[in-house]
Structure 1
């Protein structure tokens, strides 16, 4: 996030772009854009953002919908703060974290772990690090090759194609 922005300002004056991994919730990144603009006057690239596609006490469809809503809010914030939009004008873009679930994160790559890793601004208040992919690796039997695209994938497809969407089955 921007905990060390003051050190960045002092020690990294020759660095042209400020990058940060950031998880602040489905509304986007809050005052990040203004804080960086006002403090160091650098363009910003979000080097990592995302949301788990798992929630305790929710079915898979609901969790995927919440993940997509989170991604949409973050992407809209990135876009709205880019040049020629209404925000701070210093957004260069962002990197979605991540393409496919990381089953290895909780030390057993044969299991898709559902234990929360830490509290955070996610749909049920918890981070599930093995569930951040915009696609899953299936049920594990065909892993690591099987990919099942989630609602978040189709969200980006719509956003980046200007509203067009094509599902696998079409």
Structure 2
């Protein structure tokens, strides 16, 4: 009876661990493993931004008195989720610590804490500007100081798809010296050099403050990883964002050849709206998600692949109803069925006229019901992808 009561108190969150976890990386012939307090830890996670119907990214869920993370945490635990990824932390450290601590103490769900490195700032980022770099670095180090002792934190993610500012055409930045270069490839490589050196500088500074948690470089795809290897050698883990359809092809081998860091898939998944049939398609999403996770797991230590996968955080937990028209608040209460970009590898609706088949507001593995439940938040309705992952993660 005493043991049962003690277990219930721990399970309810009555007791909260007071010490931070020690997270290390083991690299051997068997593959790469993440160790949390000395025990192997395969990340089975979700990207977590619980924005309710009618709100946008400015919504402060950290301070919501309804505490949506409690409802979500219980549902996550049932699915075998052990990790959440936060793209950015809230403005109030006390609120953030409460969320981190309650997710861990009540549900044993650990957290990856992120910082955009100013990528979505206004004015747009300029990594060639020393003052901009200094400000962003100070923000990151303050984040680390604030949350490094939270028992649920297991790592720091720097950036998201920031490399698309030189590998793509998103949030482009430059300098007079870069503009003076005649060759566009030289310009790209110089931007990459500046950015990766900056990230490496932050990683070194983080390690001085917090030697117990790895630093993760968030990057989209593999194009400039050869430059990351040269200019960001002090990164611990590559946080990979990749959407390649039902699997990842040779991605894990490409990382091995270009950068040779352990890989954590920090964004992957599929949307649940079929642009060709013009209706929700949870079955197709579930089939893709299953194959994607099996590929991630196959490339983990002991699997038949490259052995450099540490797991992943699927994009995303719940649908976001604001993304289709982020500048029109009146549209945030209706889930947009318009497609916003195209990707032929998502073949279940790739044949739609015009080719636009990717629906930004339908990526969650949990659907939001606009009506509120007993906890005064949008009711959560697990999709088939949730149940597929539950089968995979709780077996």
TM tier relative to shorter chain:
0.7 to 0.9
Q: 1:151 aligns with which of 352, 375, 384?
A: 384
Question: Counterpart of 2:363?
Answer: 132
Structure 1 vs Structure 2 CA RMSD: 1.4
Question: Counterpart of 2:333?
Answer: 110
- 1:47-66 matched pairs, under 5 angstroms: 47-56=266-275, 57=277, 59-60=279-280, 63-66=281-284
3-state SS of paired residue (2:322): helix
Question: Counterpart of 1:93?
Answer: 311
3-state SS of paired residue (2:364): coil
Displaced runs of 4 or more, over 6 A: none
Native 8 Å contact 2:371 2:378 kept in 1: no
Q: Distance in 2 between matches of 1:149 and 1:41?
A: 36
- 1:26-45 matched pairs, under 5 angstroms: 26=246, 28-45=247-264
Q: Distance in 2 between matches of 1:24 and 1:64?
A: 18
Report the Cα offset of residue 59 of structure 1: 4.4
Report the Cα offset of residue 76 of structure 1: 0.3
Which one has a larger percent strand, Structure 1 or Structure 2? Answer: 2
Which one has a larger percent helix, Structure 1 or Structure 2? Answer: 2
Q: TM-score, normalised by structure 2?
A: 0.39
Q: Structure 1, residues 27-63: CA drift from partner, whole Å, max 9, x if none?
A: x111110011122211101110111110021543xx1
Residue 67 of structure 1 pairs with residue 67 of structure 2: no
Any stretches of 5+ residues in structure 1 without a counterpart? 163-170
3-state SS of paired residue (1:119): coil
- 1:14-25 matched pairs, under 5 angstroms: 14-25=234-245
Q: TM-score, normalised by structure 1?
A: 0.88
Q: Structure 1, residues 89-132: CA drift from partner, whole Å, max 9, x if none?
A: 00001111000000010132111000001001323132101000
Q: Structure 1, residues 52-99: CA drift from partner, whole Å, max 9, x if none?
A: 110021543xx1010001101110000000001110000001111000
Q: Distance in 1 between matches of 2:383 and 2:365?
A: 5
Q: Distance in 2 between matches of 1:41 and 1:78?
A: 16
Q: Distance in 2 between matches of 1:30 and 1:8?
A: 21
Range moving further from structure 2, 90-99 or 105-114: 105-114
3-state SS of paired residue (1:86): coil
Instruction: Give the count of matched residue pairs.
Output: 158
3-state SS of paired residue (1:37): helix
